[in-house]
Structures are given as C-alpha cells and as structure tokens.
Amino acid sequence: MAKPYSMDLRDRVVRAVTAEGMSCHAAAARFGVAPSSAIKWMRRYRDTGSAAPGQMGGRRSNILSGATRDWLLERVTSDFTLRGLVAELAERGVKVDYVQVWRFAHAEGLSFKKKRAARRTAPSRDRTASGAVEEIPRSA
C-alpha cells in the first residue's frame, strides 16, 4: 500500500490555496501533485481544519466470533464444506465470503477428510482397470 504524502507538502498546497488565492489545479501543478489530491486535501482542510491523512490499514474485528463462532464449532462436528458453511451463515443473516470461512476453519484446525475406503475398489483414474486373472493350465 502506498504511503500518504508528507504533511509538509500538504500544508504548502493548502497554504498556496488559502493564503495566496491559487486554485487547487494551479497549486497542484506548482507542487507536482495530482489535482485530485489537492482538491481532497482542501476538502479535508475545510471539514476538519487539517489536511492530515486519515488512518490507513488497521485490524478489522472478526465477524466469526462470539455466538457465530460457537454455532460454527457445533455445526462442523458433522460433514461440512466451506461453501456450504457460507450458504448456511447467509441463511442465518451473517454475510461472509469463502475466504473468511476458510481462515476461520484453518485457525481452528478444522478439516473434513473424505474416507478413501469407499474408493479402494474403484480403478485408478490414470490406469485402465485390470482384467480377470488368467488361469494357468496345469501340466500333467
């Protein structure tokens, strides 16, 4: 993520517009920034009294916590798929996407592995099924 412009530059642009009476476009050209930046800094200066940048980044709270977490942990005791959990959460009014549910399942150490025993007798995908075993004729 890009860093915000310095406060020194922001203050010089704001001072050029307010004290010198320049337009935002002219001040932007003078200091080598985009006109949209100068316009946004002036709007922020008029609204808050400062052209300081707002907060960047930060940690968002986890939507899959509390009662939703408890429900999920109880729900995953039986068979589940991540896409199925997303659909069930949507029915409960919790708007999440696949990645959020995957991160939750990964953090909790949850997984559902299909049993391979049911496929043991099936032929391999990349080989043809073997035929019946030939009988060896007995020699006398």
Say how far apart CA 100 and CA 82 lie, in whole Å: 10
Q: What is the pLDDT of residues 50-90, one digit of tens each?
A: 999 988 888 777 788 888 889 988 988 888 888 999 999 99
The residue among 75, 80, 77 whose CA lies nearest residue 64 is 75
Q: What is the pLDDT of residues 97-130, one digit of tens each?
A: 899 889 888 888 877 666 665 555 666 666 666 6
pTM over 0.85: no
Say how far apart CA 15 and CA 92 lie, in whole Å: 53
> How many CB atoms are closer than 10 A to CB 10?
24
Q: Residue 24 has what pLDDT?
A: 96
The residue among 26, 49, 3 whose CA lies nearest residue 13 is 26
Domain boundaries, the chain: 7-48, 67-113
